[in-house]
Amino acid sequence: MDWQLLGVSFITIFLAELGDKSQVAAIALGGSSKFPQSVFFGTAGALVLASLLGVLAGEGVAQLLPAHLLKAIAAIGFAIMALRLLFGKEEEEDSSSDPETPAIALSDTD
């Protein structure tokens, strides 16, 4: 067992999940339930299963692609998401100010 990797994984996922929509859902379920223990075990089990699927998928992809290529793909994906978040708001504001521009953009396949 690599204890340092275990600690880094725990801290990374713990911090990433703080304030996440799954935590908000757990708060809502726990606050409205007569059995908060059931909510705890249900949400913990769901997080464990989702993490297991992610680790298995990551292991499978890592066997197909070299690590440096996988890291580059992840970095490019995060950069694209950041750019869309950064510039996507301006596009929404521009389209909402023009009454002739439809609010929903249709894809080329429609």
Residue 14 pLDDT = 87
pTM above 0.75, yes or no: no
Q: Give just the sign of the alpha carbon dihedral 69, 70, 75, 78.
A: positive
Mean local confidence (pLDDT), 43-53: 93
Of 15, 19, 14, the closest CA to residue 44 belongs to 14
Residue bearing the bigger pLDDT, 98 or 81: 81
Residue with tokens 């996440």, as numbered in its chain: 20
Of 42, 37, 12, the closest CA to residue 25 belongs to 42
Residue 106 pLDDT = 47
| Residues 30 and 40: beta-carbon distance below 8 Å | yes
To 5 degrees, how large is the angle CA 34–CA 38–CA 43?
125
Percent of the chain with pLDDT over 70: 80
Residue 18 pLDDT = 81
Residue 107 has pLDDT above 90, yes or no: no
Residue with tokens 């950069």, as numbered in its chain: 79
